[in-house]
Structure 1
Amino acid sequence: MRCRLWAPGQAGSGCGRALFGQPLAALCGEDGSLPRPIQELLAVLRREGPSTEGIFRRAAGGTELRELREALDRGARVDLGSQPALLLAAVLKDFLRSIPDKLLVNNLYEDWMQAMERTGKEEKLSELKAVAKKLPAANLLLLKRLLSLLQHIGHSAATSRMTTSNLAICLGPNLLSPPNEDLLPLQAMLEVTEKVNTLVEFMIEYCSDIFGEEVAGRSCPSAGESPAPMDGATGAVFLLLAEPL
């Protein structure tokens, strides 16, 4: 084993509260922008995801995942651009999973399902647009950026080995559940998961039709750019990670 020094970078949480487990709106800037670490995660994954085999499917090291999550949660300044794409994908999944009531809002579960029951593609798209408008502004913003990222990766399935179906299976359960999820028997929960995955796959494939140019990712830093250091961030955080030879 050899040790790799993880030097401090530029991704603080951008607010005075934990990053994980909080309502998304509470984490956004006064201008409605997404939390700085999430912006950078999306940007780095947009650059690295298409060439990373099994992105969002392959597991990251448990220790590294825990330490990175804890560092982001306490507002440490971390150079996310230097971290493995698989690790960043795992962190993003953790973040999505931690959003109270989930990104697509559990209370809108029936609305999403009814939209998917429409027979024609155009009818589905029209209904999905209507449901999306019911989301909190912060959720809608992140949804657009996430779908754009996943479509980008899915278009490079030859290298990522991740089709839109694969991506939906890996991320769908983190994005939506019925409000009574804990009361459902196993078989019913399996059916719910299948329906949610179908919804997410459809939204990935047709995100441009649903949101138009708004899914272009303009609010994320460019792939080669890191956000500016956060004001008030002091000191340096060094995490010593064990890495096999």
Structure 2
Amino acid sequence: MAGTRITSITGPGTQPPLIHPSQLTGAAQGTVQMRIKASQTPGERLSQTKSMVLTEPESPLKPGLLKGEYLNKAKISEGGKKLRKNWTTVWVVLDSEQLLLYKESKQEALTNLKPGNKPEGVDLCGAVIDWTTEKSSRKNVIQITTSLGSEFLLQADSYPTICKWHDAVKQRVDSLSGEAGGPAGGRGGLRRSNSSEYLPRTSRSLPRDGPARSSTKERKPGNRHSILPKLNYSASDSADKNGVKNRLKKFITRRPSMKTLQEKGIIKDRVFGCHLLTLCEREETLVPRFVKLCVEAVEKRGLEADGIYRVSGNLATIQKLRFLVDQEEELDLDDSQWEDIHVVTGALKMFFRELPEPLFPFRFFDQFVEAIKTKELKPKVQALKKLVLQLPKPNQETMRLLFRHLHRILEYSVKNLMSTQGISIVFGPTLMWPELDCGNMAFNMVYQNQIVEFILMESVEIFSLDRK
């Protein structure tokens, strides 16, 4: 239509001038008054008059500018530093070079002049605007990233509303970029931190069918900074990268071996979890030093302790003791922090449980099981004694020291309330287990307990101990 013709019914024969719709301001458009002419006589037909009442036209808005409207806003970063997301409702006004965010409408802010009513400005020079579905679980969200690295999220419940603001802000950003001459002009993109150099600005538009269909290719979940422009590396940057790679290659190829580091004392083997043969070879002894210290401490102040080896100590303190032992620091079990004797016994049991191969080696497990099945006493003792003598020397000597110690524990059974059966239940699964536990665990545990209990009862004969 070329124009809108407004005709008054009451004045026939007169013809008002044409008024173009662009001359109707937001306040004037749609303002229609209905006038009804009262009837003069009962039979007279009512006549109606429609007239368009035009107010004084306001000054038209500049292209790309919008009046105020309530939107939801969240500031998620400032100067590159992340902030906690906090959604608030603000009155948004699109100005010539910035987006003004009022805590209340502009009219209310002008009437209520307080320091806190000053709007927050979002500089649009060199800014980037884009739709986002990654920074918030809300729908209809756009993100504005300023040239200084601050990031704002704007959201509206209505998609047409937020789409209108997206297009207007994008148009204004493009206009400011053109006026400044693009990146060469210094205001055409994101600015590097602590620098006056601006990066190329990128922006993507969203199709009109909604933000959920912004792209046929799905974004990767981990790409949370996909809106930021990619840096263009120069040839010098590539040379620096190659130099770093070459230095790393040289370091890796020239790195010392594990054996060299161990010989220099840079890397030390642990005590807990170390193979018994390796540990004894390193310490140049047949019985690990830590086992000797624990046995001496228990025999010194724990033989009469109620439930010795059955009662558990504080696990945190046991782990602390284990750490000190692995660091090969000077260990004094008479120190007050190891006053609880159950911590010492707990650490000793942990040492045997964490051996890569138990005190009763894997290859002897089935042989000990077959020996314990012997019904007659003397052949059973001789069979077990023969197997013990076949063990590696560190295993044999450590076993001899341990069972002599446990035999002493039984001498105080009246006070510590420990029996051969109670000790075998504790040490059976601790000192021996099959390499491949493919059988019945309960079945194996029965034989483990029986073997330890029988060796404990016949330890004097099996280990040729002195009868004292």
TM bucket, shorter chain: 0.7 to 0.9
Call closer, same or farther: CA 1:34–1:16 in 2, change over 3 Å. Answer: farther
TM-score of the superposed pair, with normalisation by structure 2: 0.41
- Rate the CA distance shift 1:198–1:49 in 2: closer, same or farther, 3 A: farther
CA distance in 2, matches of 1:213, 1:61: 34
**In structure 2, C-alpha distance between the alignment counterparts of 1:215 and 1:18, rounded to whole Å:** 37
- SS of structure 2 residue aligned to 1:32: coil
- Gaps (5+ residues) in structure 1? 1-14, 217-245
Alignment of 1:78-89 (within 5 A): 78-82=331-335, 83=338, 84-89=340-345
**TM-score, normalised via structure 1 length:** 0.76
Alignment partner, residue 406 of structure 2: 150
Structure with the larger RCO, 1 or 2 (CA within 8 Å, 6+ apart): 1
CA contact (8 A) 1:42 1:149 kept: yes
Q: CA–CA distance in 1 between the matches of 2:352 and 2:290?
A: 13
The reply on whether 1:213 has 2:453 as its aligned counterpart is no
Aligned: 1:44 with 2:300: no
Where structure 2 has 5 or more consecutive residues not aligned to the other structure, the ranges are 1-266
The equivalent of 1:203 in structure 2 is 455
**Matches of residues 171-210 of structure 1 in structure 2 within 5 Å?**
171-181=427-437, 183-184=438-439, 188-210=440-462
Match of 1:74 among 319, 327, 336: 327
**Larger of the two Rg values belongs to structure:** 2
Q: Deviation string for 1:130-189 (max 9, x for gaps)? A: 1112211101111001101111101211111111110110111011112221x33xxx11
Describe the shift of the 1:47–1:172 C-alpha distance in structure 2 as closer, same or farther (beyond 3 A). same
For 2:285, what is the secondary structure of its paired residue? coil
What does residue 228 of structure 1 align with? none
1:105 aligned residue (361, 366, 377): 361
Separation (CA, whole Å) in 2 of partners of 1:63 and 1:179: 29
2:464 match: secondary structure: helix
Q: Which has the higher strand share?
A: 2
Partner of 1:50, secondary structure, is coil
Partner-residue secondary structure (3-state), 2:374: coil
SS in 1 for 2:306: coil
Instruction: Indicate how the Cα distance of structure 1 residues 214 and 114 shifts in structure 2: closer, same or farther if over 3 A, else same.
Output: farther
For the residue of structure 1 that corresponds to 2:430, the secondary structure is helix
**Aligned position for 2:371:** 115
Partner secondary structure for residue 352 of structure 2: helix
Aligned-pair CA distance for 1:125: 0.9
Partner Cα separation in structure 2 for residue 17 and residue 40 of structure 1: 19
Contact 1:93–1:174 at 8 Å: present in 2 too? yes
Supply the AA of the counterpart residue of 1:21: G
Give the Cα separation in 1 of the matches to 2:416 and 2:404: 16
User: Where is the helix percentage greater, Structure 1 or Structure 2?
Assistant: 1
Quote the offset at 1:214 in angstroms: 7.0
Aligned-pair CA distance for 1:65: 0.8
Q: Identity of counterpart residues, as a percentage?
A: 24
**Residue in structure 1 matched with residue 274 of structure 2 by the alignment:** 22
Please name the residue that 1:64 is paired with. 317
Alignment CA distance shift 1:32-1:62 (3 Å)? closer
